[in-house]
Structure 1
Amino acid sequence: MCVGKQSVKLGYLFAAGLCVVAMSGCTPGPAYVRPSVSVPVHYKESASPQGWVTARPGDAADRGNWWQVFADPVLDKLEARVDAGNQTIQKSLADMRQARAQIGVARSSYFPQVTAGADANINHTSKDLVGHSLAGRTVQDYSMGVTATWEPDLFDRIGHAVDAANARAQASEADLASVSLSMHAELALDYVDLRQIDAEAALLKQLVDNYVQAKQLVQTQFDGGIASESELQQAQTQLQVAKAQLIDLGEARAQREHAIAVLMGVAPTDFSLAPVDHSLPLPEIPAGLPSTLLQRRPDIAAAERRVAAANADVGEATSAFFPDLMLSATGGLEASHFAQWAMLPSRFWAIGPALVGTLFDGGRRHAQLSAAEARRDAAAADYRQTVLGAFQEVEDKLASLHVLADEAVAQQRAVDASSRAAQLAMTRYQDGATDYLEVVTTQSVNLAQTRALVELSRRRFAADVGLIKALGGVW
């Protein structure tokens, strides 16, 4: 009779298990759909808007050595050292390895968990226990066994966790690409600044030489009684101001040099760059850039992958509303003496399924599901904002390039005009037609306009690097 009742219980449990397995054919949780985002047909600041298509994340594309567009072998060598030496990149690389390891952690739940253990107990029971068979006796218990448990993923709870881990690992890979792009771009900007400082220093050195010659001319005329002492002091002042401006450039150059060293993972003490007397060629970046290049932006890919991970979290929270089926088996040896372990009666085992479901939790699962849905909505908003910000960055850099190119033409005309005025003023002074104040004034204007042209060139280089970065590393 006892056996019959046990069989009936096992039958009910088996039938319940079959029902659960039948229900497991459905996967709870929302299917992932990439968040929609409004994408313009073309860039407003692009001179050639034809051929644009909707941008989609594509951070796996090879960005290449985009800095080679500047045609500077020194810059190429410096950039080649960034990936291996930059500590920010190394940290991001470690974060990526950690995210990949979490995939293995999530996948491990697919497999049974097997544990083994041994136990030795000596227990003495009180004699004052009434009706106890072991009262006043000392009992030794030695056991050793193996336990295996397995939870079939009936409602895709583990599957959602694995999907979330995969998406977060992909987001971490995109983060690494984004950090690498930023570090390379930052080094390029610092290098461009340094070379522009060198160009400005070469300009000031030439002006110092010119001012030395001019002072010597005034000194000669002063000695001859033609020029006044005031004119001599004006020439001296102009010369010393130019020398002071040349010396002042040393601070900015040292800071750029130190920044480049740190970006490569090198102590500033152990790094230096020799000055050059030529400027970098300004690369020409096409204005008509297809929007497919936004696929190369790793920050967009990372934001999209985080939406996918948050959506998988919603699925995992939904799976918590369904029961769990646990399969377990235990077996081993247990006896009061070690010698009895080898005997057949010392064996023990147990096997059986368990179906567990939560009937009441005070609304905890509903709250967890609501929180997961809110995190998904927040991630979707971050993704849309990242896409909009990407378009803004490209528009800004395209506008900068167009405006600065036009400004450079006008500024070059201003330099040419001020240079001609300075030459005419010097000629008039040598002919005795004017005093040296006019020379000083025109030369000061020419210096200011020439330095403004150098600064404008630096801004155009920075806009070029910024556009390349905004497009994900290449056009």
Structure 2
Amino acid sequence: MKLSKLMFVGAALALAGCASAPPHEPPAMDLPAGFKQATAQAAAQGIWQPVPQPVQPAAAGAVVVGASWWTLFGDATLDRLQQRAEAGNPGIAQAVARWRAAQAALAGSRAGLSPTLGVGASAQRARSGAAGSGAITSTSDQIGLNASWELDLWGRLSAAVDAASADAQASAADLAAARLSLQAQLAQSYFALRTAEAQQRLLQETLAAYEQSWQLTRNRQRAGVASSADVAQAEAQYKSAQAQWLEAGATRAQQEHALAALIGVAPAALDLPATGALPAPPLVPAELPARLLQRRPDIAAAQLRVAAANADLGVARAAYFPALTLSAAAGYRGTQLAGLISAPHLFWSLGPALAATLIDGGARAAAVDSARAALDLATAGYRQSVLTALQEVEDNLVAASTLAEQQQVQAEALAAAQKALVVINNQYKAGTVGYLNVLTAQTAVMSAQSGLIGVKNRRLLATSTLLKNLAGGWDGGEV
């Protein structure tokens, strides 16, 4: 009997040597020395010499997102809206719930490593034999404890815990990514609202100037020095600007509604005073190492899901090995409830059980193949996340740099258009040019002013998107 037990344990230990969980190696992917746009600018200025670095694996709690990065824009209203969005946005609440569910799943997986203990009680009355004098009626009462513990000899349970742990960490990274995305979306909607206000203010001032020109043209017509065509052109110019003013008002209202949804309130509950002032974007540093991408929560989540998929592969492969369970039971069993808890009615049992599947029609092999495919999918998704992140940062670095120059050029174009309008207005009053010249000059000024507002808005969007793409900052830590 002892020999059989030793052989049983020996067989189990031999199988344990065939541990099936594969060692996890993070996907190999090197980051470039630096971002193409930033590196070119910094190298031209002799600021730094970049050193290539591989992507570091994400660890628990390693995701760092810049705290309050939007404060770089120096707008108190935006700060307040961001605080309200953090507390009231339904999307954040959903992400928090998913994270809590992942934490609960991790706790459930860890519970599988521990023994289970239960208690039970039963009462049963049975009859056997034909009805009549030959029938036998019996009563059985039982109360007792039972315990079981599955030994994790070949890592199936621990692999499941590793998978759940990586999923929980990925869920935390997803929550950070959701917050970051919300912050960027709110900032961009806010900038769009202020842009619409600035356009409204510009068009209001333009309408006043056009109305004066329209009145001047009507006066000149009554004096016989202007034609009815000049009056019609002035009226058409005024009405066109009025239509644009109405459109800007509708855009402003829609952006305010969008902000209300982002902070989690009904549109009627949000009423922002109009300022028409756009905040100034922060300057983008010339030195931006590509390793900043390692703190992006979406990249960390993708990397952690590779680890989870690798652990799931270990779970699938462990299904080829038998399950070894230690079980025990103890209690009292008797035919009468009275005096049940006494030594004569005591029973107990203790022993191991080894169970394995011999034929399953290829189900385990299919599960392993599916897990391998899931691992390959997660690995490719991680690499795609890194490449997409590189592209996003490069795009917005180019946009931020180009738009800063474009804003300066647009301001110079506006100054030239305003100067030309003054000269042409004087010439028109002197009767040396026709009203078409005035119309053309006024249109050029308004177009230049509107273009300058648009450039400022695009620059704000590019800078805020760049901050989002760098996980809320560019100094390697919190803003």
Please indicate the TM-score interval, normalised by the length of the shorter structure.
Answer: over 0.9
Equivalent residue for 1:48, pick from 20, 42, 45: 42
Query: SS at the partner of 2:382?
Result: helix
Q: 2:327 is matched with which residue?
A: 328
1:267 aligns with 2:273: no
Paired with 2:276 and 2:380, the residues of 1 have a C-alpha distance of 49
Instruction: Give the distance between the partners of 1:149 and 1:104, measured in 2 at CA.
Output: 19
Residue pair 2:256, 2:272 contacting (<8 A) in 1 also: yes
* Aligned pairs, number: 463
Cα pair 1:17 1:325 within 8 Å, conserved: no
In structure 1, the partner of 2:5 is 13
Deviation at 1:332, TM superposition (A): 1.4
3-state SS, counterpart of residue 15 of structure 1? helix
Q: How far apart are the structure 2 equivalents of 1:437 and 1:413?
A: 24
1:340/1:14 Cα in 2 relative to 1: closer, same or farther (>3 Å)? farther
**CA deviation profile, 1:339-381 (whole Å, cap 9, x unmatched):** 1303321122211112223333333222222221111111001
**Partner of residue 392, structure 2:** 393
| Equivalent position of 2:121 in the other structure | 118
Match of 1:208 in 2: 207
AA aligned to 1:43 is F
Q: Deviation at 1:163?
A: 0.5
SS in 2 for 1:453: helix
Letter of the 1:118 partner, please give it: A
Partners of 1:43 and 1:388 lie apart in 2 by 12
Letter in 2 for 1:28: S
What is the rounded CA distance, in whole Å, between the counterparts of 1:357 and 1:55 in structure 2? 42
Task: Give the superposition deviation at 1:135.
Answer: 4.6
Q: CA deviation at 1:102?
A: 0.8
Contact persistence 2:65–2:296 (CA under 8 A): no
Q: Secondary structure at the match of 1:115?
A: strand
Partner of 1:89: 92
Say which of 28, 39, 53 aligns to 1:36: 28
Instruction: Please name the residue that 1:253 is paired with.
Output: 252
Deviates more, 1:86-95 or 1:334-343: 334-343
Matched residue, 1:5: none
What amino acid is aligned across from residue 37 of structure 1 in structure 2? M
Q: Distance in 2 between matches of 1:336 and 1:23?
A: 44
CA positional deviation for 1:22: 6.1
Would the aligned equivalents of 1:54 and 1:291 in 2 still touch at CA under 8 Å? no
Between stretches 211-220 and 323-332, larger displacement belongs to 211-220
Of residues 61, 77, 80, the one that matches 2:80 is 77
Give yes or no for contact 2:32–2:290 (8 Å, CA) kept in 1.
no
The reply to whether residue 292 of structure 1 matches residue 291 of structure 2 is yes
Question: Does the aligned pair in 1 maintain the 2:407–2:455 contact within 8 Å?
Answer: yes
Alpha-carbon spacing, 1:128–1:77, altered in 2? closer, same or farther (3 Å): closer
Per-residue CA distance 1:107-144 (angstroms, 9 max, x = gap): 11111112222211111112389xxxx95111111112
Deviates more, 1:12-21 or 1:240-249: 12-21
Kindly provide the amino acid, as one letter, of the partner of residue 124 in structure 1. Answer: R
Query: CA-to-partner distance for each residue in 1:200-254, whole Å, 9 max, x for gaps?
Result: 1111111112122223322332333332333223222222222221111111111
Q: How far, CA to CA, are the matches of 2:446 and 2:267 in structure 1?
A: 32
Cα distance in structure 2, aligned partners of 1:109 and 1:228: 92
In the alignment, is residue 100 of structure 1 matched against residue 103 of structure 2?
Answer: yes
Equivalent residue, structure 2, for 1:369: 368
C-alpha displacement of 1:303: 0.2
- Cα distance in 1 for partners of 2:57, 2:353 equals 45
Aligned partners of 1:363 and 1:25: how far apart in 2? 24
SS at match of 1:361: coil
- Does residue 63 of structure 1 match 2:57? no
Is the partner of 1:341 in helix, strand or coil? Answer: coil
Shift of 1:57: 5.6
Post-superposition shift, 1:255? Answer: 0.8
2:202 pairs with 1:199: no
Which residue identity lines up with residue 371 of structure 1 in the other structure?
S
Q: Give 3-state SS (helix, strand or coil) of 1:358's partner.
A: coil
Deviates more, 1:54-63 or 1:374-383: 54-63
Secondary structure, counterpart of 2:112 in structure 1? helix
Q: Is the 8 A contact 2:230 2:436 kept in 1?
A: yes
Q: State the distance in 2 between where 1:401 and 1:239 align.
A: 35
SS of the counterpart of 1:352? strand
Q: Secondary structure of 1:34's partner?
A: coil
Q: CA deviation at 1:324?
A: 2.2
Aligned counterpart, 1:235: 234
Alpha-carbon distance in 1 for matches of 2:247, 2:355: 76
CA RMSD of aligned residues (A): 2.0
- Distance in 2 (CA, whole Å) between partners of 1:245 and 1:363 is 68
Deviates more, 1:213-222 or 1:347-356: 213-222
Q: Distance in 1 between matches of 2:366 and 2:272?
A: 59
Q: 1 CA distance for matches of 2:178 and 2:196?
A: 27
Aligned to 1:356: 355
Helix, strand or coil at the partner of 1:227: coil
Aligned to 2:303: 304
Residue pair 1:57, 1:296 contacting (<8 A) in 2 also? no
- Paired residue type of 1:24: A
d(CA) in 1 for partners of 2:456 and 2:234? 29
Verify the 8 A CA contact 1:327 1:354 in the aligned structure 2. yes
Contact 1:63 1:296 in 2 (8 A): no
| TM-score (ref. length: structure 1) | 0.93
Letter in 2 for 1:56: Q
Letter in 1 for 2:397: L
How far the C-alpha of 1:293 sits from its partner, in A, is: 1.2
Partner of 2:155: 156
Instruction: Measure the CA separation in 2 of the matches of 1:15 and 1:235.
Output: 104
Per-residue deviation, 1:62: 4.2
CA offsets 1:320-343 (integer angstroms, 9 cap, x no match): 222322111111112221113033
Report which stretch shifted further, 465-474 or 339-348.
339-348
- Matched to 2:146, the amino acid is T
Of stretches 355-364 and 189-198 in structure 1, the one that deviates more from structure 2 is: 355-364
